[in-house]
Amino acid sequence: MLVSGTGSILQALLDACAEPGFGARVVAVGADRDGTGGAARAAAAGIPTFVRRLQDFPDRVSWDRALTQDCVEHKPDLIVAAGFLKLVGADFLSEFGGRLINTHPALLPSFPGLHSVRDALAYGVKVTGCSVILADAGVDSGPILAQHAVPVLDGDDEDSLHERIKVAERSVVVDTVGRMVRNGWSVQGRTVRIGS
Q: Which amino acid is at 24?
A: A
156 lies in the binding site for ligand GAR (CB under 6 A): no
Q: How far is the CB of 196 from ligand GAR (least distance, A)?
A: 29
- Under 8 Å CB-to-CB from 62, ≥6 apart: which residues? none
CA angle 156, 173, 54 (to 5 degrees): 85
Return d(Cα 145, Cα 171) in angstroms, integer. 13
Residue 71 or 105 with smaller CB distance to ligand GAR: 105
Residue 103 or 176 with smaller CB distance to ligand GAR: 103
Return d(Cα 173, Cα 10) in angstroms, integer. 9
5 lies in the binding site for ligand GAR (CB under 6 A): yes
CA atoms within 13 A of residue 5's CA, in its CB half-sphere: 10
- Contact (CB, 8 A) for 54 and 31: no
Return d(Cα 87, Cα 16) in angstroms, integer. 27
Residue 52 or 104 with smaller CB distance to ligand GAR: 104
6 lies in the binding site for ligand GAR (CB under 6 A): yes
The residue within the footprint of ligand GAR, chosen from 1, 2, 8, 67 (CB under 6 A), is 8
Binding mask 31-70 for ligand GAR (x = CB under 6 A): ----------------------------------------
**In the annotation, is 162 catalytic?**
no
Query: Shortest CA distance to 81 belongs to which of 167, 150, 9, 153?
Result: 9
The residue within the footprint of ligand GAR, chosen from 128, 169, 178, 180 (CB under 6 A), is 169
- Contact (CB, 8 A) for 131 and 109: no
178 lies in the binding site for ligand GAR (CB under 6 A): no
86 lies in the binding site for ligand GAR (CB under 6 A): no
Q: Binding residues for ligand GAR, per CB under 6 A?
A: 5-10, 82-83, 85, 103-105, 114, 166, 169
